[in-house]
Chain A
Amino acid sequence: MITWIRGKISRLPPASIRLRLAVFHSTLLFGVAAVVVGVIYQNVSRVLNDEPISRSPVLVELVGPADTNELGSEDRLGFRGFEQEINRRALSQLRVYSVVALAVLFLASLAIGWYVSGLLARPIGQIAAVARKIQATDLSRRISLGGPLDEFRELADTFDDMLDRLDTAFEVQKNFIQEASHELRNPLAVMRTNLDVVMEDPGAEIQDFRSAGEVARRAASRMSVLVEDLLLYAYHERPNLERDPINLAVIVEETVTDFRAAAESEGIEFVTDIAERLPVIGDSAALRRGLVNLLSNAIRVSVPHSCVMVTAGHDDEKVWLSVRDEGPGIAPAEVDQVFQRFWRGDLASARGEGRSGLGLAIVRQIAEGHGGRVTLRSAVGSGSTFTIWLPRYVDHGE
């Protein structure tokens, strides 16, 4: 019973602010009214005392001046006594009326205050009720407050907008986690089944254990690549935080130098044409990572004795960085898909090479995190060109 009542009370959170508002409102009104009534009373009583009727010109005209008149001084004294009695009664009447009026006013203002603050608090209650029903897992509810476009409506609409954004973010997150767990389950299943089989086989030879170990090692290294890339992807999901002015040309030169030896050992030649100054604002580590992903991709698809071309330049507004390979190219139908996460051109060979399918998705995240974008121009048989476009940084101090 007590908990029921407590529940009822706790379900009325606007009541406290409503009560406070009502009391505050009526106290204020009562105070003002009390001052007004007090001033009126003071003035009336002063006027009555300062200007007795016995000395008023009307009475003098009526009965003549005090000295010449046939009315005796006793009569005048008696008249004054009568007059004082009238004044006393009038003032006491005034006191009673004032107190009654104040009391009525107090009650009325309390009631009106209660009602008005209730009107104010109702939309707040509505908003609070919806907010309470919203669970972290179900963000589909909205307040949808009707009525005029006032401050409350604005508050409710702002709240709804925030829920929209949260809902989308949660949905994106959920899908990502689902896809990621699906990707992780495949190598896990390979490991588990291979180990189960070899452990349960009573006639398993050392050679069988060895090959199960090999399979498990392959699956494990595939998983670690996947986990690394998942972490990178999750890291670049939020907007880029580092915002330093940097020269992209330096990053490109350095990264290409790092890759040149590995590429040449596979018979792939790097051709570069990089402008001298490519000022952008951003995170040099992230941009380096983006280029690394593009270069590894280009080397992977390249056949020996072909070349990879890295070019970078700028126009008035944009800085661009382009990596071109002479690989097999990508079919037009798949051009839009390559930047989606977990896309792999050839699933079977991707698994063999331990690729995560996140490399190009991370490139897109990095480009978009810098306020730019990444594009692909490709045709089957004539290679692919990936281009990152970034806003050019113009230093007005120069």
Chain B
Amino acid sequence: MRILVVDDEPDFVDAVARGLRLEGYAVDTANNGDEALDKATYTPYDLICLDLTMPGRDGLELCDSLRIGILDYPPPRILMLTARGTLSDRILGLDAGADDYLVKPFSLDELHARIRSLLRRDAGRSGAVLHVGGLLLDTARHRVEVEGLEIHLSPKEFSLLHYFLTRPTVVVSQEELLEHVWDENADPFTHTVRVTVGTLRRKLLASGAVDTIDTIVGKGYRFLPGGGVR
């Protein structure tokens, strides 16, 4: 899942980005509204954490711009992170198109929980636990189990598996994975996607999972619950 964090306070943006990366999200940052709009125009973010008050283009304006359909893909979820906490501010923010509203200062755990909740809406699932084939993925506790036995994945592998589990049997291209699982610092010309998919596949195999990740040459990857039909 790829997230953009926008705030005019560099110390704050850096900390939130670090906190989200610890959870395995791919995180980009922007320090003002214009920079955020630029990035959101060419990257299909899954979620934007947005400050309401910024010099120049503020959070409300950015919300409007993203909602009126200037993007080629579905608009990202928007989570407002702001110091303005009065009732009228919250109503204003939600009406402008924010999907959720969190008043500063907040606990990092609450931020994580709200982001999980917002991202679940995209996958069309209501629980924090995904159960596909013989795999169980708990997004809240960051655990993966194969037939009841926990296996250990790196944050990147976890995000990758999470992305596959929300799209079983769908062919996912390498570009799509780069856009949603890796952040702007990833070099698109390296083999990082291929290498991570490879280690994930090996770990699943070693744990005795019947579910597989197929490589479809020239197109991308496909997650097949139960091994599927070859």
Contact of B19 with A by CB under 8 A: yes
CA distance A39 to B19 in the complex (A): 103
Contact of A295 with B by CB under 8 A: no
**Chain A, 176-201, CB within 8 A of any chain B CB:** 178, 181-183, 185-186, 188-194, 196-197, 200-201
Asked if B12 contacts A190 (CB within 8 A), the reply is yes
Contact of A355 with B by CB under 8 A: no
Chain A interface main SS type: helix
Chain B residues near A189: list those with CB within 8 A. Answer: 12, 83, 104-106
Asked if A185 contacts B85 (CB within 8 A), the reply is yes
Contact of B214 with A by CB under 8 A: no
Among B9, B16, B85, B103, max chain A CB count under 10 A is at: B9
Known: A185-B104, A186-B104, A200-B22. A193 touches B12 (CB 8 A): yes
Contact of B140 with A by CB under 8 A: no
CA distance A143 to B115 in the complex (A): 51
**Chain B, 47-70, CB within 8 A of any chain A CB:** 55
Chain A residues near B16: list those with CB within 8 A. Answer: 193, 197
Known: A178-B86, A186-B83. A196 touches B107 (CB 8 A): yes
Asked if B83 contacts A185 (CB within 8 A), the reply is yes
CA distance A264 to B31 in the complex (A): 35
Contact of A308 with B by CB under 8 A: no
Contact of A392 with B by CB under 8 A: no
**Per-position 1/0 for A123-154, Cβ under 8 A of B:** 00000000000000000000000000000000
Asked if B11 contacts A219 (CB within 8 A), the reply is yes
Task: Return the chain B residue nearest A347 by Cβ.
Answer: B55
CA distance A193 to B31 in the complex (A): 17
Chain A residues near B9: list those with CB within 8 A. Answer: 186, 190, 351
| Minimal beta-carbon separation of A210 from chain B (angstroms) | 14
Asked if A347 contacts B22 (CB within 8 A), the reply is no
Contact of A348 with B by CB under 8 A: yes
Contact of A94 with B by CB under 8 A: no
Task: Return the chain B residue nearest A218 by Cβ.
Answer: B11
Contact of A19 with B by CB under 8 A: no
Size of B's binding interface in residues, CB under 8 A: 22
Contact of B114 with A by CB under 8 A: no
Known: A188-B105, A192-B107, A200-B108. A215 touches B55 (CB 8 A): no
Asked if A348 contacts B105 (CB within 8 A), the reply is no
Asked if A200 contacts B85 (CB within 8 A), the reply is no
Asked if A197 contacts B104 (CB within 8 A), the reply is no
Asked if A182 contacts B12 (CB within 8 A), the reply is no
CA distance A196 to B103 in the complex (A): 16
**Chain B, 1-58, CB within 8 A of any chain A CB:** 8-9, 11-12, 15-16, 18-19, 22, 31, 55
Asked if B15 contacts A190 (CB within 8 A), the reply is yes
Chain B residues near A190: list those with CB within 8 A. Answer: 9, 11-12, 15
Asked if B104 contacts A196 (CB within 8 A), the reply is no
Chain B residues near A215: list those with CB within 8 A. Answer: 11, 15
Chain A residues near B109: list those with CB within 8 A. Answer: 196
Chain A residues near B107: list those with CB within 8 A. Answer: 192, 196
CA distance A183 to B19 in the complex (A): 23
Task: Return the chain A residue nearest B112 by Cβ.
Answer: A200
Chain A residues near B201: list those with CB within 8 A. Answer: none
Contact of B120 with A by CB under 8 A: no
| Minimal beta-carbon separation of B195 from chain A (angstroms) | 21
Contact of B84 with A by CB under 8 A: yes
Chain B residues near A346: list those with CB within 8 A. Answer: 55
Chain B residues near A194: list those with CB within 8 A. Answer: 11, 15
Task: Return the chain B residue nearest A196 by Cβ.
Answer: B108
Asked if A185 contacts B105 (CB within 8 A), the reply is yes
Q: Could you say which of A188, A193, A218, A348 contacts B19, with CB atoms under 8 Å apart?
A: A193
| Minimal beta-carbon separation of B50 from chain A (angstroms) | 14
Known: A182-B84, A189-B83, A347-B55. A197 touches B108 (CB 8 A): yes
**Per-position 1/0 for B72-106, Cβ under 8 A of A:** 00000000000111100000000000000001111
CA distance A242 to B91 in the complex (A): 45
Asked if A192 contacts B106 (CB within 8 A), the reply is yes
Among A188, A192, A197, A201, max chain B CB count under 10 A is at: A197
CA distance A218 to B86 in the complex (A): 27
A sample of 11 inter-chain contacts (CB < 8 A) reads A182-B83, A183-B83, A185-B105, A188-B105, A189-B106, A192-B105, A192-B107, A194-B11, A196-B19, A197-B22, A348-B55
